[in-house]
Amino acid sequence: MADEEIEWFDDDGNRVDGRKADELRETEMEVGVLEEADGSAMVEIGNTRVIASVFGPQDLHPKHLQESDRAVIKMRYNMAPFSVDDRMSPGPNRRAQEIELVAKNALKPALELERFPTAGIDISMEVVESDGGTRVTGITAASLALADAGIPMKGMVSACAAGVVDDTPVLDVNGKEDKKGNADIPIATINRTDDDTESTEDDRVTLLQMDGDLTTEQVDECVELAKKGCEKLYRQQRRTILQKYNVSEGDQE
């Protein structure tokens, strides 16, 4: 179907999957999904599902990779061959390597790596189903898995993407909107606690990318949409962790 024939919005302003422009897809989160991992999580956003696992801190080999003052993160991102309509060839590729680097840099500012000198922390993100937003879903899942593993963190990292479809900024683009839309802006943020008076809004952003041609106004609106999406995801991440340990929100106040 040609791009111009797609009806991106109906008469009520709803998108192709029935959502409003500022609405996230239905989201499910679960921790402790893999028994053998030190920490694990599953995050499902719409029809995109990622399982993240964490092993460590543990001895890092070979030793020449060790850092004397902090732990080293080893990141793996993989899309299962059955995760997309067109069967993928197994094994690493340039896109996977780019997402591994992006995800590692998005998570590192939140981790207290200096507590574990010379150690290694292995993080794996396995895309089981893909319908847009795999990198941001992977980062959100990896952050949950790190929390599940008990890795000390300055705050939970949440990631979300906004984009422009038919010149309209929208939150959490799905696969069709990602492929046929104008642009895509994924961001990741570290949640800020109420007593965190030193950090600024800019300090909390650990990932900001852009793919496509946008006006300055569209960029600003997409970034604000994505930040609000990250805040919603963080609240669900927090509930998911607390529920595992049978702690209510009120007990944390």
* Spatial separation of the C-alpha atoms in residues 76 and 91, rounded to whole Å: 11
Q: Which residue has the higher pLDDT, 81 or 210?
A: 210
Helix (H, G, I), strand (E, B) or coil at 9: coil
Residue 111 gets which letter from DSSP?
Answer: B
- Mean pLDDT within 84-89: 59
The answer to whether 179 and 140 have CB atoms below 8 angstroms apart is no
pLDDT digits (tens, 9 = 90+) for 22-64: 999 999 999 999 999 999 999 999 999 999 999 999 999 899 9
Strands (DSSP E) found in the chain: 27-31, 39-45, 48-59, 72-79, 119-129, 157-165, 168-171, 183-190, 205-208, 211-212
- Mean pLDDT within 123-131: 96
* Spatial separation of the C-alpha atoms in residues 21 and 32, rounded to whole Å: 33
Considering the chain, what percentage of its residues have pLDDT values greater than 70?
Answer: 87
- CATH of 24-243 among 3.40.228.10, 3.30.160.150, 1.10.10.60, 3.30.230.70: 3.30.230.70
pLDDT digits (tens, 9 = 90+) for 88-116: 565 668 999 999 999 999 999 999 999 99
> How many angstroms separate the Cα of 220 from the Cα of each of 65, 109, 162, 178, 214?
40, 23, 11, 19, 10
Tell me the HSE value of 28 on the side-chain side, using a 13 A CA sphere.
10
pLDDT at 203 > cutoff 80: no
Q: Which residue has the higher pLDDT, 249 or 45?
A: 45
pLDDT digits (tens, 9 = 90+) for 58-73: 999 899 999 999 999 9
